[in-house]
Amino acid sequence: VHSFPEGVAIGVSFADVGLEGGVTMFGLVVPVLAVFMTIAISIHNIPEGIAISIPLRSMEVSEWRMVGAAVFSSLPQPIGAVIAFAFVSWARGFLPFGFGFAAGAMIYLVITEFIPEALQIGAGLDGDGHRELAAGILSGITLMLPLMAI
């Protein structure tokens, strides 16, 4: 479900390069926002792939099938990226809308799916998983902060 909005975020950020959104280095335009967005979502995809694999592991699914399921679950991502890139490239005036849509979709999914699922999974832990959730959020923010310097 949420791979498509992630792809939208990447596609919109690459479309931003055509709007002077890059930084010129060594005579080349480096799409800073696009690189940042791609790295951020790639980092996010690691625990997501693990979350997909854990239930499959308990069902004794082979490792190759777990990898296949994790990859298959991300197929909407490049589709969303291509559609968003084409849309924003076609209608540059919609770039703020594109960023807003991508941000809103991702925030919605974090609030309605990721956090409740994390708390449900952590229900048996001391503190019902709240400490672990907070530690994960802070770790993610800490990991992302250096990327903002790019």
Residues 46-58: pLDDT tens digits?
A: 888 888 888 888 8
pLDDT of 8:
86
Q: What length does the chain have?
A: 150
3-state DSSP call for residue 2?
Answer: coil
Residue 72, C-beta contacts closer than 8 angstroms, at least 6 positions apart: none
**Which amino acid type is present at position 136?**
G
Distances in whole angstroms, Cα of residue 131 to Cα of each of 54, 70, 123, 126, 137: 21, 27, 11, 8, 10
Query: pLDDT tens digit string along 102-148?
Result: 889 889 988 998 899 889 988 888 888 899 999 999 998 898 888 77
Which candidate, 11, 21, 24, places its Cα nearest to that of 89? 11
The residue extents of the domains of the chain are 3-148
The reported pLDDT for the residue numbered 92 is 74
- pTM for the model stands at 0.57
| Residues in a beta bridge with 30 | 23
- pLDDT of 91 reads 74
Sign for the pseudo-dihedral over CA of 123, 126, 131, 135: negative
